[in-house]
Amino acid sequence: MAETILVPRMLDAYHQFLEERVKPGAFAIDGTAGNGYDTVFLANLVGETGHVWAFDIQQAAIEATKNRVQVAGFESRVTLCLQSHAEMISVISSDLVGSVSGIVFNLGYLPGSDKKITTLVSTSLEAIRQSLLLLSPHGILTVAIYPGHQEGTLEGNALIDQIPSLEAAGWLIRIYKVPEPKSPAPYLITYERNKNENK
Ligand SMILES: C[S@@+](CC[C@H](N)C(=O)[O-])C[C@H]1O[C@@H](n2cnc3c(N)ncnc32)[C@H](O)[C@@H]1O
C-alpha cells in the first residue's frame, strides 16, 4: 500500500516535486486552473520553449488565470481551455501521450466562488486516468484533495481505493499529509512510474 509521508506544508511539497521534474522545454498540465497560481508556477518552470495547458470549467477561473498569466508575461507558453479536464487528451492531442513532465490537480471549488461548482468523482477519476497516459517516463502527477466538503471526501476515497490496482500496474504512489492536522485536513497523492517495476 502507498507510503504515507508527513510534510510541513502540502503546497511546498508538490511545488518541489514539480520543480524536480518539469524542466525548460517541458510540457505540463494544470487540470484545475482556478485562480491560476499553479498555471503560472508551471509556466515559469517550462520556460519559453515549453508549454502548459490549463483546464477549468468556469469562465471566471479562466479569466483569473488569463490575467495572472498576462501579468507574468507567459501568454505564449500557456493554452487556457474552458473545458473539463476529463477531455484533456482530446483537447491536447493524443500525440502527447507519454510526453508530459508534470500534471497538477487541486481538486475542489474555486476559492471565493460558488462552492456547488466543484470537481466531481467521476470526472476527476477520468482526468487522472488520462493524466497517467500522458505522463512521461520521469513525469509526476500531483493531486491535492480537500475532504472538508462531501465531494472531496468521495474523491479522496475513490482515489485511495484504486491505489492497489495502479500499484500492481507499475505505478509508484505516495500520500503526503501534514502533521497534527486539523480534521479533516487536505492531503496530497502523487503518481509516478515505479522505476524498479519498469526495468
Ligand atoms: C481548488 S480550485 C483550483 C485552484 C488552482 N489550482 C489555483 O492555483 O488557484 C478547483 C478548480 O477546479 C475547477 N473544476 C471543477 N470541475 C472541473 C472540471 N471538470 N475540469 C476542470 N476544472 C474543474 C473549479 O472550477 C475550480 O476553479
Question: Starting at the edge strand that comes first in sequence, how are the strands of the sheet with 171-177 ordered?
Answer: 3-6, 171-177, 187-193, 135-145, 100-106, 27-30, 51-55, 78-81
Q: What is the mean pLDDT of residues 135-151?
A: 96
The answer, yes or no, to whether residue 197 has pLDDT greater than 90, is: no
Is the CB of 57 inside a 6 Å radius of any atom of ligand 1? Answer: yes
How close is the Cα of 158 to the center of ligand 1, in Å? 18
**Could you give the count of Cα atoms lying within 13 Å of 61 in the half-sphere of its Cβ?**
29
pLDDT at residue 183, rounded to an integer: 79
On the 0-12 / 13-18 / 19+ scale of CB atoms within 10 A, 95 is: exposed
73-118 confidence digits (pLDDT tens):
999 999 999 999 999 999 998 899 999 999 999 999 998 888 889 9
Q: What is the mean pLDDT of residues 134-162?
A: 96
Is the CB of 153 inside a 6 Å radius of any atom of ligand 1? Answer: no
pLDDT at residue 199, rounded to an integer: 41
CB 102 within 8 A of CB 22: yes
More confident residue, 25 or 197: 25
**Structural domains of the chain sorted by starting position, each given as residue range(s) with its CATH number in brackets:** 3-198 (3.40.50.150)
21-67 confidence digits (pLDDT tens):
999 999 999 999 999 999 999 999 999 999 999 999 999 999 999 99
More confident residue, 26 or 194: 26
Q: Where are the alpha helices (DSSP H) in the chain?
A: 10-21, 37-46, 59-72, 88-92, 121-134, 150-161, 163-168, 195-198
Pocket test for ligand 1, best of 68, 119, 131, 146 (most atoms within 8 A of CB): 119
Mean residue pLDDT of the chain comes to 95
- Give, using CA atoms, the residue closest to atom 12 of ligand 1: 32
State residue 118 phi and psi, 5-degree precision. Answer: -130, 165
